[in-house]
Amino acid sequence: MNSTQPQKALPEATLSVRLLEIGIKYKKQLSTLVIIICLAAGGALFWMQKTKVDEAQASVALAKITPWLETGDIHKAIDGEGSIKGLNSIAKTWGNTPSGKTAKLYLAYILLNSGKPDDALAMYKGFSSDNKDLQASALAGAAACHVAKKAFADAAAEYEKASETAENEALKSAYLNSAADSYTSAGQPDKAAKLLDQVIKSWPATAAAGTARRTLLRLAGAGVQVPQI
């Protein structure tokens, strides 16, 4: 008697938590961007009634490749293996679902970290989602591409757009911190100081606010005129 049980679809909330766990577990190996994608994915698994079946299939497919994402087996994660679809296939088959869109974000992230910022930027720029946190993730991804190209002023502008677009306060504050970092790298520390002050005043209870305070202290130590903390 075959006791093997067919793999069941992970509940939406469970998949969200699983993706977040990946980001937290590998935060030293992965950039902040992929953690943000995981956070945004947690709020992206609800859709219109007509797409529920497709989303269910896409979320199961995405769940099946999470072990490869955990271990960094990028080739399998992208192309799949056997009957398991990879990110490419998930994005092509269910590209209009939240999980399909999340697969696109992972693909763009992989391109960026494979030394192909222009290709990744094109993918991020072509991304569209009604979910504001996922859309903000794409904007932040585009910003990261500009950072890789050392176009820091462009990166700062994209991070600001990401902060404006996101609904999650942790994301909004994190993106604004990143915008401040980019302005500093662009040689515009005064703009950075203003954004850091905004983070502290708008989201005082977030981790980003603590980071902003420390960054302001460093800027002050470097002779930059900063708001009173």
- What does pTM read for this prediction? 0.74
The confidence score (pLDDT) of residue 151 equals: 98
Phi, psi of 13 (to 5 degrees): -65, -40
Q: Please check whether residue 75 is in contact with residue 108, taking contact to mean a CB–CB distance below 8 angstroms.
A: no
The two three-digit tokens of residue 229, written as one number: 């903390």
Helix H, strand E, coil C: the string for 123-190 is: HHHCCCCCCHHHHHHHHHHHHHHHHHCCCHHHHHHHHHHHHHHCCCHHHHHHHHHHHHHHHHHCCCHH
**Cα angle, residue 27 at apex, residues 200 and 202 outer, rounded to 5°:** 15
Least confident window among 25-29, 104-108, 190-194, 195-199: 25-29
User: Residue for token digits 């296939």?
Assistant: 89
The more confidently predicted of residues 222 and 186 is 186
Q: What are the structure tokens assigned to 37, written together?
A: 């994608």
- Tell me what pLDDT residue 37 has: 55
Summary mean pLDDT of the chain: 83
